[in-house]
Amino acid sequence: MKKAILISILSLILFSFPSLGYSSPGTPLPDWKAGVAKANITPNQSMWMAGYAVRDRPSEGKRTDLWAKALALEDLNGKRIVFVSMDLAAISKSIVDEIKNRVERDFNLKKDQVILNVSHTHTGPATGDGGGLDDINREKVKNYTTDLKEKLVSIIGAALKQLQPAKVNTGNGVVRFQVNRRNNNEDKLSEQTTLQGPNEYSVPVIKVTDQNDKVFAILFGYACHNTVLNDYKWSGDYAGYAQIELEKLYPGATALFFQGAGGDQNPLPRRQEGLAEQYGKELAAAVERTINFGTKTVSSKITTNYREIELYFAKDPPTKEELTRLINDGKLPSYQLSRAKAMLKTLNEGGKLMTSYLYPIQACKIGEQTIFALAGEIVVGYAIDLKQIFGYDTFVFGYSNGSMGYIPTTTMFHEGDYEVMGSPMFDSPWRFDIESNIISNITKLATDIGIKTNSQIGEKYRYGN
């Protein structure tokens, strides 16, 4: 009789206080914390747009709002990481550094704990110092950038304040509207029966659910330029429409888009708003399928690492005389003209021009999920490289932590074309060893924090099979 009473009491305790016992099968207690926040970053006035050097006037209205969004994660040990997405074409490393320094001061997060990624929409506003513009438009860009920085710091803080018990799943989907623009002629696309590569069609997904298994955050990516649209209306392009669609599919959820290794990939065909919406829905459908059928739960552990490496230019910096001649020739496109003028100003004030660039690379693991974030417009070859080394389910994001131009592969130096000339030193390509420099350094960055390569774990690379 006493034994029966004791069992009844113990049962009552366990059922009344589930945190003291085991959860029911299939519903483990959340061991993550997560929080989200967002801010509308659509300019409140007409101003200069980024992405196309041929534009000759400021913006003219809006198709969709533009957003900055933050997802904060915290593991069982209290380690945190924040992912920040922006519907912008680019932000400079100097802006990123300022944001990260403020976040470290205000929220005690180091550089390796924050990843800032731009979608590279070509229908978003210019950011920075407004170089190359007239006084009025330059002031608009500078004021917008000041406001943007405040909003980015604010949403990071808000996401951290919103941390709540959560479950985290990751997976890879697939969608195929990206086309390698270097190896396929856009004007003759309708005549082609096959597309030439390289390509990388994966759709990385991080699904975050609350204690009741309701989705409240979705981080997803794709490696493709946001260049369906080229008009004068604000828009997040296909990535913006994908976020809108996912937030309709999952009411109350926040969807964040992270651009991948899309430096040489275009959405084709393009140049019609209907196509931007179509591609957005295709991408959202791939994310939805992955959320419903293609993710796995990851253990509650965050590991992070960050480094800045030197990338070198193939030529010495130009002299005052060379810059003056290039500026006076009147043949430089506007984006190169502004660079040339800024460089000449530096020399005239007694400064020196850079001979290398400090390039950010970042590696992290969210449970078992490996994630790499590289700066600039990295091309798809970098995603293929890293997946060959670390596994087909690795997430590779470009356009992260600063924009400085295209990051080509070794093969592209042999092929030529304008991506090869896309270094910050406008009249010089990167040095020929750029790919081996980046890949070797990011491999060391990853292995230093215990991220294993395929050879270390004895797994055969299966990407593409």
Residues 214 and 160 in one domain: yes
Domain count, the chain: 2
In a domain, 311, yes or no: no
CA distance 285 to 297: 21
Residues 231 and 328 in one domain: no
C-alpha closest to that of 73 among 126, 116, 31: 31
Report yes or no: 59 and 93 within 8 Å, Cβ to Cβ: no
* Beta-sheet pairing, 67-74 with 80-86: antiparallel
What does the pLDDT read at residue 226? 97
If DSSP states are collapsed to H, E and C, what string results for 125-161?
A: ECCCCCCCCCHHHHHHHHHHHHHHHHHHHHHHHHHHH
One-letter amino acid identity for 59? S
Fill in the DSSP letter of residue 453. Answer: P
Is residue 2 helix, strand or coil? helix
In a domain, 44, yes or no: yes
Residues 327 and 280 in one domain: no
Please state the length of the chain: 465
In a domain, 376, yes or no: no
Other C-beta atoms lying within 10 Å of the C-beta of residue 320: 11
* Beta-sheet pairing, 377-378 with 406-407: parallel
What does the pLDDT read at residue 188? 86
Q: Which residues contact 64 (CB under 8 A, 6 or more apart)?
A: 234, 235, 236, 240, 241, 244
Residues 49 and 173 in one domain: yes
One-letter amino acid identity for 16? S
Residues 43 and 87 in one domain: yes
Report yes or no: 375 and 359 within 8 Å, Cβ to Cβ: yes
Report yes or no: 288 and 248 within 8 Å, Cβ to Cβ: no
Q: Per-10-residue mean pLDDT for the chain, 465 residues long? A: 44 37 48 98 97 91 97 98 98 97 98 98 95 90 98 98 98 96 88 89 98 96 98 97 98 98 96 93 98 96 98 92 88 77 88 93 98 98 97 97 95 89 84 96 96 74 38
Torsion 417-418-419-421 (CA) sign: positive
In a domain, 190, yes or no: yes
Other C-beta atoms lying within 10 Å of the C-beta of residue 106: 12
In a domain, 268, yes or no: yes
Fill in the DSSP letter of residue 71. Answer: E
Residues 182 and 296 in one domain: yes
Report yes or no: 301 and 184 within 8 Å, Cβ to Cβ: no
CA distance 327 to 155: 41
CA distance 253 to 214: 9
What does the pLDDT read at residue 423? 85
C-alpha closest to that of 29 among 16, 37, 20: 20
Residues 263 and 342 in one domain: no
Report yes or no: 132 and 56 within 8 Å, Cβ to Cβ: no
Is residue 266 helix, strand or coil? strand
Is residue 456 helix, strand or coil? helix
CA distance 107 to 104: 6
In a domain, 440, yes or no: no
437: its two tokens: 């420099």
Backbone angles phi and psi of 156, in degrees to 5: -65, -45
Residues 329 and 281 in one domain: no
Quote the domain boundaries for residue 339: 318-348
Angle among Cα 414, 405, 126 to the nearest 5 degrees reads: 150
- Verify cis geometry, omega within 30 degrees of 0, for the bond prior to 269: yes
Residues 292 and 329 in one domain: no
56: its two tokens: 């000759």
State the DSSP H helix or E strand holding residue 85, giving kind and residue range, or none if neither. strand 80-86
Backbone angles phi and psi of 210, in degrees to 5: -90, -170
In a domain, 312, yes or no: no
Residues 201 and 58 in one domain: yes
Residues 269 and 327 in one domain: no
What does the pLDDT read at residue 211? 93
The structure's pTM equals 0.90
Residues 226 and 330 in one domain: no
In a domain, 226, yes or no: yes
What does the pLDDT read at residue 444? 97
